A and B are shown apart, each in its own frame.
Chain A
Amino acid sequence: MSVTGVEGEERSNYTRAESRQIRARSLRLLGSLVRPVRGRIVVTMIVIVVSIALQVAGPALIALGINQGLPALLDSNDWMPVSLTVAAYLFTAIAGASLIALYQVMSARLSQAILLDLRKRVFLHTQRLSLEFHESYTSGRIIARQTSDLDSIRELLDSGLNQLVSGLIYMGFTAAALVLLDPTSGLVLAASLIPLLLLTRWFQVRSQKLFRQTRVASARLIVHFVETMTGIRAVKAFRKEPRNATQFAGHVEDYRHANARVIQLFGIFDPGLVLIGNVTVAAALVVGAFRVVEGELLIGTLLAVVLYTRRFFDPAEEMAMFYNSYQSAAAALEKISGVLEEKPSVPDPTTPIDLWKAKGAVHFDRVRFAYNPETVVLPELELSIPAGQTIALVGTTGAGKSTLAKLIARFYDPTEGAVTLDGVDLRKMHPKDLRRAIVMVTQEAYLFSGTVADNIALGNPEASREQIEAAAKAVGAHDFIVSLPQGYETDVNKRGGRVSAGQRQLISFARAFLADPTVLILDEATASLDIPSERLVQRGLQTLLADRTAVIIAHRLSTVAIADRVLVMEHGRIIEDGTPAELIAGTGKFAQLHAAWRESLV
């Protein structure tokens, strides 16, 4: 089994070699993200190191003030030493505080630059990947890559890494200051590291497991909740409320339990840290006090030792959290790098051929299409569509109609043979020319958030308002749009909001009309319309198709009437080919279908 790209993403039993391969590719991605900003990383590190060094100086300065300043004042009324110490303290306070603020902003700029880079890369790559990829890798997963996975990386960059870096430096400097001030106390602190490390390690191992359980429990809770709220009609209609309440209570209890366990974990870890800190302070105090009595240690130094020892443990709790955010970010990066490793199966040409003004002659030159050697959709297709002809494709589900349409739109590339437009292989044509010349409208008329006008303008972003309205009028969408609350400026909300399926379809026709392609493909595009709307569209279609090449897939045979030529498909082959009148008059498949359909009408 391979782990290239997104393959094997859901597995958890990687072999050693596979893990290495995945780690290597996510490290490569990390490297390519960090390289452009490495200079800034160095500067940022210098800022934080200096800032923490200044902050850590405080207790040492207090010691200095008590050890030197107080005797000088007592002995010779000399204010100099204590004033100098206080001045130095004020300086470290201001400089340390300014630098830590600077560090915050600098590190945020850094992590945001990296994130923005990664966001754009994943977004663009997602758009580049072919439909084939999108059909096998579900929309939920590709969205998760770009939202929750990027969030866990952001979390790591924003807080996890920050806390780890500043925490480590802080502890390092505190320990160093302590050793410089009094090496003996440094030994006490070193001894405390052993329980500290053991406790932290224990916490990491436990928390990783428990955090995962909370995430699983909360995900279940959320899915159940959202399903209930979005499906409230079905819930009510089928009296699911009491059963739901029981199920939900179960999810709530699981989540509560998982949460309580995490909280209990902190309930041990947090006091544990306090305990280690306090015992270390007591030990440092004993070790120091005897030497103070013997005159080996100054009293101010003992104060500094106590303060340093106490402060040393401050960042420990936050640092322990780093491991968790690191783990989820690493997992996220592995998955993202997998998506980025996917190669588009419909790549842009390296030396594109321009086709400024297409005439619209489409030719299938011995085209074979197969998803894999077992499932051949089109065995061998030879078809010529002259410029300006309207073709209707008829046949049962799975006959290969949609595949044929998608090959013209270059959503797929043929396995063998070539599809050409005006003699140019689609694979070699400039992508811009291809998209300008060929447009496909599908049954699922997707609307993007924004106004109705925005959605039509997607067909041609440079279009004026007059052109947009003209397009809407041409397909019969103008009147319903004007009757919307804000007319063309009405927000269609998320996923079509208040616009009905038929109205969505009309908007998407207007979009296609505005794009003004040479070749237009309609894949079941009228299926969700009610009869009055369909009638309206049919009228619009006649305008729309007048002087272009068109391929129409429809399961309502009424649409076929406007075609110049009908192709009946079965098992990936064309079995009948002729004008509607010819085929109806004959005895073939189409004649049978047509008769059955006539019967179903009245």
Chain B
Amino acid sequence: MSTTASPPAGHPAPPAPPRMSTARALARILPYAKPAMPWIYAGMVAALLAGVIALAIPLVLQSLVDGPLATGDPSQIWPAAIAVLVLGILEAVFIALRRFFVLTPGTHIEARMRNGLYAQLQDLPVAFHDRWQSGQLLSRAVSDLNLIRRWLSFGFVLLIVNGITIVIGFVVLFSWSLWLGLLFFVMSVPLWIYGYLFEQKYSVIARRAQDQQGDLATAVEESVHGIRVLKAFGRGKHSLLKFAEQAELLRATEIDKAKAIAGIWFWLVLIPDVAFALCLLGGVALAANGELSVGELFAFFATATVLRFPIESIGFLLAMTYDTRAATDRFFEVMDEVNTITDPAAPVSIEAPTGRLTFENVVFRYQDAPADQPGILDGVTLELEPGETMALVGVTGSGKTTMTALATRLYDVTEGRVLLDGVDIRDLTREELRRHIAMAFEDATLFSASVRDNVLLGRPDLTEDPSAEAAAEAERVLAEALDIAQADFVHSLPDGVDTTVGEEGLSLSGGQRQRLALARAVAANPAVLVLDDPLSALDVDTEALVEAALRRVLATTTGLIVAHRPSTVQMADRVALLQQGRITDVGTHSELLKRNEHYRYVISSLEDEELAAAERADRDLKLAEQEGRRRDAIDREARVIDSASDGPRGEVAR
């Protein structure tokens, strides 16, 4: 994969200066639109011809009225009528041609931009995705690109063509009568201004309505997802009140929207009709003076009718152009993003990794965090021997998840190095690194695909190989992985391992998803297995079974396991204790239990310690109570506990 999925022009675009002219901002689409540009120009020519023909029909009418109708010669009617018919057919043909030329190429531009955006998004690091909600990205990938396509094949073409048509139309009108033409022209100016202002105003209200609609949808989602809480506390009425309030807001905005539409309708209906009425007065007066023939008066109204749409359209076409500019800016906002986690120029390769994983003075800090603040990881040094299993233990916020994410370069270290078999992981391609190190996350993501495809996700070597041996091997790996993760429930799904799961398929419970995610990591058959609290949603019995099976895998594979429970720790050969971004102790579980108080605090069973602690606390409380300082004592104690438990920021994974 290329390191930056840039526009087809090849070079990554420079970051946008604060304010570009609209024309220049829109010109950035050009690299994507280039192959289609000849078609777009051809469409413009066709549209222009259609416009000119529409304007020519009144000319024929004029000659008809002033010619045969005035002289009373019926023989001349047919040629004129046939001319009108032919012109009418030609107009339809050129309109059809415009659409034919422009529209299919337009969809190709849209598709090209969409694929480019998707490639860029897949390539950008996880840190980028932490900052951007998928909804924002989605609106760029769908509605913004849709708007750009419509503007290219419709707005842009018509803006230019209607502009030319208006100019030609007015030349014709002026040629008949300077005064009538001028009158009509002056009357159409407010339409342009109002049309443009309307779109500006309307898009603000429409945006507001959209936001409120989003808020309302959120309220609905929460009322459904949180229905147990609402029912448990009997707060259904309460939430209805809140919902009704929001629905009222939306209604008020929708009515504001209708008022804005009513405003534009008022002017769109009023101004042309007033212009027609005044032109009627002026036209009849001019005709009475003999300055205008009846045919010209006739044709004047016919032409003015033809020009009505182009004139009305200029305002909203301009507004559409500005909207498209905004959409283009949003698109390039993502495309201009510089990827900070890329493949090296000269990648190193490890043929057969033994699985020695080393963290060397690793510091990790969020990019936007001030430099003087200590990092999430603040100088971590840890070495995992080949085949060794290391448990990572620490309170919430101590940096456990961050450490697991650094090993596969989901994030890059701020300082220090992570080494695999002595090679800096930044010297490997990302593809190779992630082939050697597989992960299972606490928050198990499944994709809309079969159970088989989800579990064998890390084995394209098997799934994309059509040979029978590969297929057999794939089946074996699948069965083994499912067995280790105790995921035999898949066999009772409607289609067994071929059942589609994920968004579009069967929904599974949290525990089931976790087991499949674990099976996926195991099936990848990596040199190093990184497990971030992968059993948190399992019940105790299943957990014990999975742990027993995992031990077999971990006997030969290097493992880094985030653990919250003593039982998980027992799978590990050694335990590393993370405390405020540093490894403060490494040793076996029983060693640490013996010598490290913080470790006991974090992991030791409640039974042993809690009884003693509770007794102690009770005694303290009683004493404090006697002194009338009961509250203070709880506060103080809780504060001590918390100062140890909370890092400066939540874990990276959140």
Contact = CB atoms under 8 A, between A and B. Distances in A.
Contacts of B280: 61-62, 65, 69, 82, 85-86, 89
A278 B89 contact: yes
Given A66-B297, A275-B89, A310-B305, A105 B262 contact: yes
A237 B539 CA distance: 26
Given A233-B441, A260-B103, A282 B84 contact: yes
A275 B88 contact: yes
A227 B448 contact: yes
Contacts of B185: none
A267 interface: yes
Interface residues of A, number: 173
B179 interface: no
Interface in B587-628: 589-590, 593, 601-608, 610-611, 613-614, 617
Contacts of A248: 115, 118
A120 B217 contact: no
A139 B96 CA distance: 46
A375 interface: no
Contacts of B65: 299, 302
B247 A116 contact: yes
Contact of B234 (A70, A100, A436): A436
A335 interface: no
Contacts of A277: 88
Given A147-B217, A558-B610, A561-B607, A411 B460 contact: no
9 contacts: A97-B267, A124-B236, A239-B430, A260-B103, A483-B642, A534-B606, A558-B607, A601-B607, A602-B589
B122 A556 contact: no
A131 B274 contact: no
B167 interface: no
B447 A532 contact: no
Interface in B153-193: none
Contacts, number: 470
B635 A473 contact: yes
Contact of A289 (B57, B69, B91): B69
Nearest to B93: A271
A274 interface: yes
Given A70-B287, A116-B248, A435-B234, A58 B646 contact: no
Interface string B85-102: 101110111011001100
B448 A446 contact: no
B514 to A, nearest CB: 12
B205 interface: no
B369 interface: no
Given A138-B507, A244-B122, A249-B115, 4 more contacts: A89-B276, A131-B228, A227-B502, A285-B81
For A224, A231, A243, A531, the residue with the greatest tally of chain B CB atoms inside 10 Å of its CB is A531
B306 to A, nearest CB: 9
Interface of A, secondary structure class, is helix
Interface in A61-109: 61-62, 65-66, 69-70, 73-74, 82-83, 85-86, 89-90, 92-94, 96-98, 100-105, 107-109
B414 interface: no
Contacts of A436: 234
Interface in A540-574: 542, 555-556, 558, 561
B284 A73 contact: yes
Given A58-B276, A104-B261, A239 B301 contact: no
Kindly list the 7 A-B residue pairs having the minimum CB-CB distance in the complex, ordered from nearest. A435-B234, A278-B88, A108-B258, A93-B273, A231-B445, A89-B277, A97-B270
A500 B438 CA distance: 24
A532 B641 contact: yes
Contacts of A500: 396-397, 650-651, 654
Contacts of A191: none
A416 interface: no
Given A446-B229, A449-B218, A500-B396, A458 B240 contact: no
Interface string B555-587: 000000000111100100000000000000000
Nearest to A440: B232
Interface string B235-278: 11011100110011001001101110111011101100110111
B108 interface: yes
B135 to A, nearest CB: 8
B426 to A, nearest CB: 15
A294 B74 CA distance: 9
A446 B96 contact: no
Contacts of B634: 473
Interface string B41-61: 000000000000000010001
Nearest to A445: B229
Contacts of A116: 247-248, 251
Nearest to B136: A229
Contact of A131 (B91, B122, B227, B258): B227
Contacts of B298: 66, 299, 302-303
Nearest to B443: A233
A120 B64 CA distance: 63
B114 interface: yes
Nearest to A438: B232
Contacts of B254: 108, 112, 158
A142 interface: yes
Given A62-B276, A536-B638, A558-B606, A102 B118 contact: no
Interface stretch (A5-13, A349-357, A364-372, A474-482): A474-482
Contacts of B96: 267-268, 271
A120 B245 CA distance: 10
Contact of B100 (A70, A138, A267, A281): A267
Contact of A290 (B74, B121, B434, B445): B74
A101 B223 contact: no
Contact of B72 (A97, A232, A293): A293
Contacts of B311: none
A431 B230 CA distance: 13
Contacts of A245: 115, 118-119, 122
A442 interface: yes
B61 A74 contact: no
A381 interface: no
Interface stretch (A19-27, A251-259, A320-328, A418-426): A251-259
Contact of B266 (A100, A112, A229): A100
A13 B311 CA distance: 50
B129 interface: yes
Interface string B384-419: 000000000001110000000100101000000000
A536 B641 contact: yes
Contacts of B435: 239
Contacts of B503: 223, 226-227
Nearest to A497: B654
Contacts of A286: 77-78, 81
B645 to A, nearest CB: 6
A86 B278 contact: yes
For A142, A222, A233, the residue with the greatest tally of chain B CB atoms inside 10 Å of its CB is A233
A502 B129 contact: no
Contacts of B605: 558, 601-602
A211 interface: no
Given A238-B524, A248-B115, A533-B396, A279 B457 contact: no
A38 interface: no
B220 to A, nearest CB: 4
Nearest to B565: A531
Nearest to A286: B81
A579 interface: no
A202 interface: no
A239 B431 contact: yes
A228 B446 CA distance: 10
B77 A494 contact: no
A495 interface: yes
Nearest to B260: A104
A534 B227 CA distance: 25
A479 B617 CA distance: 18
Interface in A428-465: 431-432, 434-436, 439-442, 444, 446, 448-449, 458-459, 461
